[in-house]
Amino acid sequence: MPLVANSNLPAFERLREEGETVIPSSVAVHQDIRELHIGLLNMMPDAALEATERQFFRLIGESNQIAQFYIHPFTIDALPRGEKGQAHIAQYYESFAQIKAEGLDALIITGANVTQPDLAQEPFWQPLIEVIDWAYANVTSTLCSCLATHAVMQFRYGQKRQRLPAKRWGVYPHRVVDKWHPLVNGVNTRFDVPHSRFNEISREQFETAGLHVLAESEEANGHLAVSEDGFRLVFFQGHPEYDTISLLKEYKREVGCFVRKERDDYPPFPDNYFTQQIQAVLTEYRYRLQKALEKGDTVPEFPEGLITASLDNTWHDTGEAIINHWMGHVYQITNIDRRKPFKDEIDPANPLGL
């Protein structure tokens, strides 16, 4: 929760200049502890649908222990779904029409499964544009994750993602490049973020589009960026929402693809994720697996139970802190009526006073 400038003490202005949230008394007296309504546009495939819900719900729920968060999941009808996924959505999700009618304080858009060489050919393309355009006009801030970042950069800013020579996969160190911006003010200046993608938007592309990069990695390029006004659109290329075991599960799936001959090569280890001990266990497993395949024997069970307890999570606390800052500023910019900013106190074109 923010500081209230209840006097003309110069320290308040100095803290505001350094990126701290300091609100005038005239705003504070109109605020009550209230709910925030967060939309989650979940475009992930059926296999990851519920795990993605839990990951983002966890980040939001742990970010602030005062505000009450109401999460409103919805999806895009054009996305292909199996029977189980359709049933889950029918029972628990809202429609976009409902979302528009009720309004949101903030919106998170997940990644999606990509099958076409150009994102504009994907079935989610036009519906996603509709959601983004509506949110830009009606929602205080929208956070785009991974593929959603790439899509918005293409259709809104004319910057197409670039194919990488090999999949960027693992946990990478990042550095804050603008420590005064309110989203990263006070967080660790160096922190890790998981990545899992074949394409990227470079820092140069973000800056060419007039956007502001807040955190980047020498190995993984730009991770966190914001729109021209500093807040309306927030872009993640990495996955701070990932669970400790998310990359392990992904590695296990890739091993399964190798077994089923859906990929020709045995998957490499994700970068900077497995300890040497875990790598030794998995190397031994690979040897036994390939021997079994050669002889036509039963495939040995993947040694997940031997690995899980030894995995480290070096990203969640910073991801949580950034989401906390994001939620905090959404809370300050919207009033108890939600969707309506404090027009007398906040400039919608520059809500953070940057």
**Structure confidence at residue 76 (pLDDT):** 96
Q: How do strand 162-176 and strand 212-217 relate by DSSP bridges?
A: antiparallel
Q: Is the pLDDT of residue 194 over 90?
A: yes
Give the separation between CA 235 and CA 224, rounded to whole angstroms.
6
**Structure confidence at residue 340 (pLDDT):** 45
pLDDT in tens, 57-87: 888 888 776 777 888 999 999 999 999 999 9
Helix (H) and strand (E) counts in the chain: 12, 13
What's the CATH superfamily of 31-243+313-341? Class I glutamine amidotransferase (GATase) domain (3.40.50.880)
Alpha carbon distances (Å) from 85 to 5, 39, 45: 49, 19, 8
* Higher pLDDT among residues 68 and 202, named by residue: 202
Where does the chain hold its CATH 3.40.50.880 domain(s)?
A: 31-243+313-341
pLDDT band at 339 (very low <50, low <70, confident <90, very high): very low
Reading phi first (left if > 0) and then psi (alpha if -120 to 50, else beta), residue 186 is in left
Take residue 317 and report the two structure tokens written for it.
């606390």
**Structure confidence at residue 121 (pLDDT):** 96
pLDDT in tens, 171-188: 999 999 998 899 999 999
Find the mean pLDDT for residues 238-263: 96
pLDDT in tens, 101-152: 999 999 999 999 999 989 999 999 999 999 999 999 999 999 999 999 999 9
Find the mean pLDDT for residues 20-43: 78
**Phi and psi at residue 54, in whole multiples of 5°?**
-60, -40
* Higher pLDDT among residues 173 and 338, named by residue: 173
Reading phi first (left if > 0) and then psi (alpha if -120 to 50, else beta), residue 130 is in alpha
Q: Is the pLDDT of residue 2 over 80?
A: no
Take residue 167 and report the two structure tokens written for it.
């999949």
**Structure confidence at residue 332 (pLDDT):** 78
3-state class percentages of the chain: helix first, strand second, coil last, to nearest 5: 40, 25, 35
Instruction: With beta carbons less than 8 A apart as the criterion, state whether 78 and 47 touch.
Output: no
Mean pLDDT of the chain: 89
Where in the sequence numbering do the catalytic residues fall? 146, 239, 241
Residue percentage of the chain with pLDDT more than 90: 76
Instruction: With beta carbons less than 8 A apart as the criterion, state whether 239 and 322 touch.
Output: no
Instruction: Give one DSSP letter per residue of 91-104, joined into a string.
Output: HHPBPHHHHHHH--
Find the mean pLDDT for residues 3-9: 74
Q: Is the pLDDT of residue 224 over 90?
A: yes
**Structure confidence at residue 111 (pLDDT):** 93
